[in-house]
Structure formats: C-alpha cells, structure tokens
Amino acid sequence: MSHPAYTVLFALLLATAMALVGDRAGRQRVYLAVYWFCSAMASVAAGAWIMHWVHG
C-alpha cells in the first residue's frame, strides 16, 4: 500500500471513530468527521514538511 493511500485510510478510520463517540445530531457528526479528516491530513502534510526541513 502506498503511503498516501495508507494516510487516507488512517485518517478516514480516525475521523469516523471520533465522529461516532458522544451524543450528537447526525449533521454534527458529519461536520466533526470532516474536521477530523482534514486535521489528520493537514497534520501529516505539516509533519512531512517538518521532516523535510529537518533532514534535508
């Protein structure tokens, strides 16, 4: 599995799980899932750039 595909899978699983917990309306869960997915992808991108700058 390629790293981008692995990253997307991980982010999807995490976003789904985080949206499922708690007592929320359906629409709120969707918004939360999107938020978590985007945050996870942004974190990976930021981490990748930091690693690039640190290691060259």
Partner 1 sequence: MKRPWKDAPRPAALLLAAWLVPGGGYLLLRRYRQFALFLLVVSIATLAGVLLHGGNLWPATGELQGLDGLAKLTARAGALAKAMAGGPYLLAYLAGYSQTYLAGCLHECGTALLTAAGLLNLLALADAWDTRGRVRA
Please name the residue that has the structure tokens 């999107």: 34
Closest distance of CB 27 from partner 1, Å: 14
Closest distance of CB 12 from partner 1, Å: 9
Give which of 56, 51, 48 is closest to 3, Cα–Cα.
Answer: 48
Residue 50 is a binding residue for partner 1 (CB under 8 A): no
Structure-block tokens of residue 49: 């750039």
> For residues 23 and 12, what is the distance between their CA atoms, to the nearest angstrom?
20
Closest distance of CB 29 from partner 1, Å: 10
Q: Which residues bind partner 1 (CB under 8 A)?
A: 1, 6, 9-10, 13-14, 16-17, 20-23
